[in-house]
Amino acid sequence: MKSGKEMRKMRAGDTYTISGKVCLGREFELAYAEIAVENGIIKSIVETDSAANAANAAEQWIFPRFFNAHTHLGDTVAMDIHTKPGMTLSDLVAPPNGLKHRILSETPSGTLTDAMTQSLKFMKRSATAGFCDFREGGAEGVNALKTALDNSGTGLKALILGRNGGESVADGIGISSTKEGEQVLEYAAETKKRGGFVAFHAGEKDTRDIDAAIDAQPDLLIHMTHATDSQLRRCAESEIPIAVCPRSNHILGQSTSNEHPPIRKMLDLGCEVLLGTDNVMFVQPDMFAEMSFVSYAYGLTPDEILNMAVAGSKLINSPFFIEEGNIAAFFTINPETSNLRFSRSPKKSVVNRGVIPEY
Ligand SMILES: [Zn+2]
């Protein structure tokens, strides 16, 4: 007789079957199903009836893992540093002399790699399977993150965007703002020509650096906290996804309401909206916490929030949605061991409550 846990997941390497209440596909439809995984790929999904499932004691929830669409993992070295009242966004994070850049330049490479390794491990534990990072420090900085990824053993899928020469050894370029000057547009164009990925911070503080960023036809815009309706329409028409980082905007004083970033408006105008956690210096790279904040402050539906937390995986051409043919990037929750047993809506609970995944 197998134990309940063994029955839930029969495993041999990366080939196994698992069953439970599954959050399926791009519509996040909840259904009892058995998933067969072969060599890390979802081979088949067979819906089962709930009575048979209950008999197998397989009441666990199975949800897609998350893609964190905007991080600065290097900032881990300055976690929760004391900042003086009245410091502006530029004082804190603008290159080249903002507080974070001064700290990064003084940090020994071993410490930097160790800090990023620890953040990667935290991300894995909190159900993130991939991320897009703006990596400072040129080629050396990019290589430090690659080393951290190896050291972490997390197997997280990374889209690494360098700058100051780092773009040549990364997947592309992550530009601080078009306010930095004309030259950044040239770097973006060169990267695009090479087939690299181009992303800009835009609209974090005001609208001024947005239009030039959209003109560059990037693969991703970050923030758009203060974007106008017409700027959002341009993004929708050009199909440029937007990574919003609401907790970061609030903690850095760039927003005090759910009007910034205008997530509801973004969705209504047809923009693809993704969720990111931004600087680890101020915000833990925890997608459960980010979803929970969005859920409380922005009044979106669980499906909309889940999509924002998962769909960024399309940026790496490896979607995490639970569909046949996709990689097996999901996590499980056993509601029987906590108050989640009383949940009337697993999707709402996952989005609202910062749950603790099993693996
Ligand atoms: Zn950023």
Taking only the tens place, the pLDDT of each residue in 258-309 is 999 999 999 999 999 999 999 999 999 999 999 999 999 998 999 999 999 9
- Which CATH number does the domain 4-65+321-352 belong to among 3.40.50.2300, 3.30.70.260, 1.20.1250.20, 2.30.40.10? 2.30.40.10
Whether the predicted pLDDT of 2 surpasses 70:
no
Residue 350 pLDDT greater than 90, yes or no: yes
Between strands 220-223 and 9-12, the pairing is unpaired
The answer, yes or no, to whether residue 5 has pLDDT greater than 60, is no
CA 203 to ligand 1 center in whole angstroms:
11
Mean pLDDT for the chain overall? 93
For residue 13, pLDDT over 80 is answered with no
Q: How far is the CA of 249 from the centre of ligand 1 (A)?
A: 10
What's the pLDDT band for 50 if we cut at 50, 70, 90? Answer: low
Residue 168 Cα to ligand 1 midpoint, Å, equals 20
pLDDT single digits (tens) 312-335: 999 999 999 999 999 999 999 999
222-266 pLDDT, tens digit each: 999 999 999 999 999 999 999 999 999 999 999 999 999 999 999
How many whole angstroms from 336 Cα to the centroid of ligand 1? 38
Pairing of β 128-134 and β 330-333: unpaired
Ligand 1 centre distance from Cα of residue 145 (Å): 16
- Dist. CA 222 → ligand 1 center (Å): 7
In whole angstroms, what separates CA 267 from the centre of its chain? Answer: 18
Centroid of ligand 1 to alpha carbon of 34 (angstroms): 39
Between the CA of 11 and the centroid of ligand 1 the distance, in Å, is 39
Neighbours of ion ligand 1 (CB under 5 A): 278
CA of 345 from ligand 1 middle (Å) equals: 33
pLDDT exceeds 80 at position 52:
no
- The predicted pLDDT at position 7 comes to 43
Residue-level pLDDT at 358: 72
What's the CA-to-centroid distance between 174 and ligand 1, angstroms?
9
Q: What's the gap in Å between 72 CA and the centre of ligand 1?
A: 6
CATH number of 66-316: 3.20.20.140
How many other C-beta atoms lie within 10 A of the C-beta of residue 141?
23
Centre of ligand 1 from the C-alpha of residue 253, in Å: 14
Cα-to-centroid distance, 306 and ligand 1 (Å): 21
What pLDDT is attached to residue 154? Answer: 97
Cα angle value 298/350/323 (rounded, 5°): 105
**What are the structure tokens assigned to 219, written together?**
């693969």
| Residue that wins the pLDDT comparison between 68 and 1 | 68
The pLDDT value given to residue 53: 55
251 Cα–ligand 1 center, Å? 13
For the chain, the helix, strand and coil percentages under 3-state DSSP, each to the nearest 5 = 40, 25, 35
Q: Domain residues of the chain, as ranges?
A: 4-65+321-352, 66-316
Task: Please give the pLDDT value at position 12.
Answer: 55
Q: How many angstroms is it from 300 CA to the middle of ligand 1?
A: 23
Alpha-carbon distance of 162 to 73, in angstroms, equals 12
pLDDT above 90 as % of the chain: 86
What's the gap in Å between 201 CA and the centre of ligand 1?
6
The DSSP string of 160-223 is: EEE-TTGGGGSSEEEES-GGG-HHHHHHHHHHHHTT-EEEEEESSSSSTTHHHHHHT--SEEEE
Quote the ligand 1 centre to 70 CA distance (angstroms): 6
Q: How far is the CA of 176 from the centre of ligand 1 (A)?
A: 7
- Region of poorest pLDDT, from 6-15, 167-176, 227-236: 6-15
Angstrom distance (rounded) from CA 18 to CA 11:
9
* Of 338 and 6, the one with more pLDDT: 338
What is the CA(131)–ligand 1 centre distance, in A? 13
CA–centroid distance, 115 to ligand 1, in Å, is 18
Tell how far the Cα of 247 is from the centroid of ligand 1, in angstroms.
12
Q: What confidence tier does 58 reach under pLDDT thresholds 50, 70, 90?
A: low
pLDDT in tens, 76-99: 999 999 888 889 999 998 888 899
Predicted pLDDT of residue 247: 98
